[in-house]
Structure 1
Amino acid sequence: MTRYTPGGDEHLFVEYSEEMTLEAFFTSILVSQELAVRKIDGITENCPANASLQVRFDPDVIAARDVQRELEDIEAAFGDVDKVLDTRIVEIPVLYNDPWTHEVLMRFRERHQDPDSTDIEYAARINDLSGVDAFIEAHSSTPWFVSTVGFVAGLPFMYQMVERRRQLQVPKYLTPRTDTPRLTVGHGGCFACIYSVRGAGGYQMFGVTPIPIYDVEQRQPHLRNSMIFFRAGDIVKFRPVDRAEYDELVAQVDQGAFQLRTADVRFELDAYTADQTGYPTTLVEALNGR
């Protein structure tokens, strides 16, 4: 049952579920999109998240109870329609086990659950995988849903598109680090992320991508329309690369010549629910024009 909670005088927090599910996420993003389409006087912005939505409004123009009434009306309407999202799938190259995150994680071993192993070794072990290679395969072989963007500018939180029993889960560091390399591919709980900037962090570190996802100067082709690349509803497919390819991609980025692989897709929640193994494969095939 949806729960509505006031957030001061100007915000209404809407919680669709106490746990992250794609069903709750879909409700959040579809309500958010419809709310934007309606352009209700007094509602100034809304932000969908993993299983919730926060709406900002001007109380001098519209009352909180009227905002809630609009949201309830939108949610009720979605009970009779298919949950479909027109979005895009994006390929993100990753150098797993890179030297930069390795140097940082070794500096902070005293803050880690297992000081005698690396982050990715620890993640493989607690997920009952045979080793690092098996973990990389599990991490990169299936797509991920971007459920929300934030915490710091442009950072995507991603939810793995597999059955619940197969989801990779790793706790955060016991206490946060004071350093995380920019563009680190991290993981905390059941969520993957990409650190858009260098800074503090507590997620396990598995590798780095050479692809900028946030740039105020918008120098890259894929950032020309927005300084923040990711948006909620994007689908991400990680692709492992070796050091030679990583360096080549960095050079392309430096020259402004890198072309990000993306494809438009239509995601149907019922189709995914019916076949959580085969359906994601059809989305990935869109990157190859199939």
Structure 2
Amino acid sequence: MTTRFTFGGDEHIFVEISEEMSLEAFFKSLSITNAVRDTEIKGVTEICPANASFQIKFNPDLIHPDDLLTELKRIEQNADLSDAVLNTRIIEIPVFYQDPWTNETLMRFRERHQDPTVTDLEYSARINGYDTVESFIAAHAGSPWFVSMVGFVSGLPFLYQMVEREKQIQVPKYLSPRTDTPKLTVGYGGCFSCIYSVRGAGGYQMFGITPMPIFDPEQKTSYLKDFMVFFKPGDIVKWKPINREEYDQALAEVDAGTFEPRIREVVFSLDDFNKDIEGTNTKLEEILYAN
């Protein structure tokens, strides 16, 4: 990985760790941004991590841009990934695949799609070599996903599939964005899955919908009373396919304030994962579903 530093106007430095997403790039970005935070560099006002990059906002009246650049390069050179271990959590997210609401929406925007004759799931299954939509859904929900970034829209997580690169699902975004996407749609674009935290425009393929709120600015949701945004970078997600009855039940529990996501604390080691991806994923699921 060759790190690239560029200035963004008078108050930002953009740091690209890698041109492609990988867990190694994420952990290096995390290591550097944590070091920037812990060093408490005078003049740094904001640290914004992304999938394989990050951006630093600074006050040029308090630190010269060249001095900050020198300090960031020093921190980058000292970044140590030999013991990349993260104390994090694994979370079960219920998904109603092939739901009527995303299906109605995608049918309104077929002229913007690569193949107007099929649904998003049918298209995604075909171009990834799956014989049926059901087998494609099983692949999407079969392995854990790593939250590499939260943002773009408030509370929206970008999720990276935790499998060998040759097994990763890849699906292009719509040819041109939709003007509507249902709230809590589970989408897909490039190599990333996501959850649309609010209703609005979007270009990702639509696979389904979750009943579980992930962003609540009023903080009325039972598990969002401490912070309005549910996800944070480093979270691990396991999709759980559900049917309409289960979806309606979960919605009723959310409305009643009794819905509680299944969450377990875990320790994730990048070295252990790279040595045995399938074994690591199995252990994560065992922790998630242990009584």
- TM-score w.r.t. the length of structure 2 is 0.97
The aligned runs of 1:60-209 (5 Å cut-off) are: 60-79=61-80, 81-209=82-210
RMSD, aligned CA: 1.2
| 1:8-19 aligned within 5 A | 8-19=9-20
Mapped to 2, the partners of 1:173 and 1:80 lie a distance apart of 36
SS at the partner of 2:277?
A: coil
Q: Aligned letter for 2:15?
A: V
How far residue 64 of structure 1 moved from its aligned partner, in angstroms, is: 1.9
Q: Which amino acid aligns with 1:214?
A: F
Residue aligning to 1:59: 60
Q: Contact 2:186–2:193 (CA<8 Å) still a contact in 1?
A: yes
Whole-angstrom CA distance in 2 between matches of 1:23 and 1:286? 24
AA matched with 1:206:
F
**1:134 Cα deviation (Å)?**
0.4
The answer to whether the 8 Å contact 2:31/2:80 transfers is no
Task: Give the deviation of 1:34 after TM superposition.
Answer: 2.2
Distance, in Å, in 2 between the alignment partners of 1:80 and 1:30 is: 8
Q: Is the 8 A contact 2:27 2:81 kept in 1?
A: no
Residues 158 and 192, structure 2, Cα contact 8 Å, conserved in 1: yes
**Structure 1: how far apart are the matches of 2:65 and 2:162?**
35
The Cα shift of 1:79 comes to 3.0
The alpha-carbon deviation at position 180 of structure 1 amounts to 0.4
Deviation at 1:116, TM superposition (A): 1.0
- State the shift of 1:109 in Å: 0.9
Structure 1 alignment gaps of length 5 or more: none
Report how far residue 80 of structure 1 moved. Answer: 6.5
Deviation by residue 1:137-175 (Cα, 9 ceiling, x = unmatched): 000010111111111111111110000111001111111
- Determine helix, strand or coil for the equivalent of 1:14: strand
Which portions of structure 1, spanning 4 or more consecutive aligned residues, are displaced by more than 6 angstroms?
A: none
Question: Gapped runs of 5+ residues in structure 2?
Answer: none
What amino acid does structure 1 have at the position aligned with 2:265?
Answer: D
DSSP-derived class of the 1:199 partner: coil
Structure 1 stretch 156-165 or stretch 71-80: which is displaced more? 71-80
In the alignment, structure 1 residue 33 sits paired with structure 2 residue 67: no
- Choose 148-157 or 30-39, whichever is displaced more: 30-39
Q: Say which SS state the counterpart of residue 172 (structure 2) adopts.
A: coil
Equivalent position of 2:288 in the other structure: 287
Name the amino acid aligned to 1:148. Answer: M
Distance 2:5 2:214 in 1: 33
- Taking structure 1 as reference, are residues 247 and 25 closer, same or farther at Cα in structure 2, changes over 3 Å only? same
Decide which moves more: 60-69 or 126-135: 60-69
Q: Give distance in 1, aligned partners of 2:83 and 2:53.
A: 20
**Is it true that 1:216 corresponds to 2:214 in the alignment?**
no
**Structure-1-length-normalised TM-score:** 0.97
Letter in 2 for 1:49: A
State how 1:221-240 maps to structure 2 within 5 Å.
Answer: 221-240=222-241
| SS of equivalent residue, structure 1 residue 249 | helix
C-alpha offsets along residues 4-49 of structure 1, whole Å, 9 cap, x if unaligned? 1001111100111111111111111121122212222211111111
Q: For 1:76 and 1:31, how far apart are their aligned partners in 2?
A: 9
Which residue in 2 is equivalent to 1:264? Answer: 265
Residue in structure 2 matched with residue 277 of structure 1 by the alignment: 278
Q: Which SS does the other structure have where 2:19 is aligned?
A: coil
Q: Which amino acid aligns with 1:228?
A: V
